[in-house]
Structure 1
């Protein structure tokens, strides 16, 4: 879902100032951070939404196991976290290849919060879509979340508390052409999340999806180029005529906005929210 590339597309519509993870207010004086003492695992943490979620959960007091294949990106994230003044939690980088499903399951043992965020995308017509890429997308974005949940639940059940947040997409609720693997994986993730919600409710475990439209991340920036090639149009037209065509709010979402929703779902005030899909789509699904 996407990186800062402000030269593409129309300027954002006027909006309230966004708070970055570094400016997110902490708890009131004398109050413990909402997630103090909790351990979270965030996948795809080296950039984009995962990076924002990692910093936001650490700001809420959690110890965050930041997982990604990108060792350099994780090192930069950890360095950023160390420079945050008075960050209540901490960030521990963990290099993890989610195609190693056994390793993924082991990595989730003993955690209190799981944020399934890692993803990849390829935009191609079905008849041109490489089967091996389809398989890899489903492995990383559907099988790995299942194995991570499977590894996390025993500890969550034992303590009677757990939070699972799956970074889905508007494409978990709607389909788009040329995204067979991504749409399939996100629809599957929606179903998995609801099953976990039903099974986990009696054990104090909630499971929800967050469904953003296009977020300003590296993944979305690559999609712009792919869509331009697939449709034979300019990147600017991809943003205005394809990506934002169904959105009432004509701008990309910032990663920090998604991280705020994730932090809320992990906190004490969201204990009755489970099995839900929180649309952050600028009105896309209101049509």
Structure 2
């Protein structure tokens, strides 16, 4: 486990900006203003102490608010994930993104992706992640969130976690998984993948995938559709011309058309399953 002093880790995580591994960022990077929002980092109590989390919520809105857990890519809760939280807050949600790699160190400080995966990502157990997300929902319930109206969305690494959490916590209303891996090697830390638990899902999940994804095959997407079955309530959308990471506007993989359509589909999915807000409805 990371041996840096807790204060040093917190200072690095609280800093704004993008992870070293993704710099320089693309000119397509979207910056959502914080005007009209309440944003910041908080510490969430967990079984072995506390972890930091970024949160964003509308200032002028009656509590309690519907809650969306926002699950990071492998780069941690860097500027892009914080911006996604601000976008959701602008749609009327309390969005919270816990730093799920905190015990292992600061993923923003790694410039080499392979080293980041080896040193941090591969050492994080699913069981711990799911428990931390439970804790994040408890925190949200104490800070203006409605525990009866909660959902989850995640990107890449967080996409897989979104599928798993939908099975772990049947009390959430809906999930949206962006290009999360569906199958893989089972290990003591990652004992299951979405394909393994598809038949057990009771929470409706919207899967958003890319036809040109080099890491997630269309065969695995088709297998997931079959595993879900026609009565699961879940749905998978594939954007045939998009690549993995098509919503990551700060990277070359960004596909504006697919990202914007996926975002609107996600908001509609949340509304359809009882997580709607006036702000989340399409503007006429």
TM-score bin (small chain): 0.3 to 0.5
Higher strand share: 2
**TM-score when normalising by structure 2:** 0.41
Higher helix share: 1
Report which structure shows greater RCO (CA 8 Å, sep ≥6). 1
